[in-house]
Structure 1
Amino acid sequence: MRKVKKKEKIYFPDPKFNDPLVTRFVNHLMKNGKKSVAYNIFYNSMKKLDLIKKSEDKSVIEIWKEGLKNVTPHVEVRSRRMGGSNIQVPVPISSNRKITKAMKLLISCASIRNEKTMANKLAYEIWDAFQEQGESVKRKENIHKMAEANKAFSHFRF
């Protein structure tokens, strides 16, 4: 085989919610190896989300997972050189990459919001994603629109 299958990384559960998906999210949130700062940002955003959720009967971790699910793209476009031009070929995404892409979308869209702290930005972006609003959901839909527009090139999958 030309391409070797990448070994799947094992994530240990986080101390508060005991969920490996939270650890994975915090790893994406982390900058310069400061994991404790990233955990503080995530936990503070969960506290803020608890105040935001109003009369919602779900827990904050369920809201976060639902918001993450709403941001998860199912297809993406990849460039492929055909003849003298580059074409965008829609390709289905693997489950592991879906989660990674959703997490990165959520974090990048949260960082450009106008709230004061990153914890507040993240909390409001998660809430918007839960309600299927906000910038991260728009970006996901934009990815899907690009794939739909280039559906004619789908037979060039690689």
Structure 2
Amino acid sequence: MPRKGLRPRDRRALPEADYKYDSVLVARFVNKINFEGKKATAEKIVADSMVIIADKTKEDAMTVFNRCIETVRPLLELKARRVGGATYQVPVEVKPLRSTSLAMCWLLDAARSRKGRPMAEKLAEEIILGSKKEGAAFKKREDTHRMAEANRAFAHFKW
């Protein structure tokens, strides 16, 4: 038990719920998109992409967004562990907060890697594909799980 109280990482609180969608998940997503301190622009991108999602899928945008985050979230990840001069990729379980953050990062990376359209459209397309278990972000999750499965023999090196 630490004598000085909680470490800074443990004290860090989640952002307040988004005013438009009343969701902490959306607020965290806006903060991930936030670039060079332009939060209003990030909020506009998310709002526009939610409108596009609702138009294309004929479903509630929040339902599609939540489904996408749930399908893209990884359960396992690989961590490098050095044992006796050799470095092993050890599969470890991912904590829920980190897995959600990874899913958001993968969605953003996949959307940013698409070319030629506004960010709101690219993000909406990637969220729709993620909710259908398709797209680059879901592929990243599957690749991570496949690598973890391949390195399962090193799981006993977990620390």
TM range (shorter): over 0.9
Give the deviation of 1:114 after TM superposition: 2.9
Give the deviation of 1:8 after TM superposition: 4.2
Runs of 4 or more above 6 Å deviation = none
- 1:101 maps to 102
Structure 1 residues not aligned, in runs of 5+:
none
One-letter amino acid matched to 2:127: I
- 2:31 maps to 27
Q: Deviations over 1:15-60 (max 9, x none)?
A: 2111111100100011111110000000000111112114xxx311
The CA RMSD measured in Å over matched residues stands at 1.5
One-letter amino acid matched to 1:62: T
- 1:81 maps to 82
Structure 2 residues not aligned, in runs of 5+:
none
- 2:122 maps to 121
> C-alpha distance in 2, partners of 1:90/1:33?
35
Between 109-118 and 131-140, the greater mean CA deviation after superposition: 109-118
Percent identical: 35
Size of the alignment, in residue pairs?
Answer: 155
- 2:55 maps to 51
- 2:64 maps to 63
One-letter amino acid matched to 1:21: L
Give the deviation of 1:7 after TM superposition: 1.9
Q: Deviations over 1:115-145 (max 9, x none)?
A: 4100000000000001111111100000001
Q: TM-score, normalised by structure 2?
A: 0.92
Structure 1 residues 123 and 115, CA gap change in structure 2 (3 angstroms): farther
Between 61-70 and 112-121, the greater mean CA deviation after superposition: 112-121
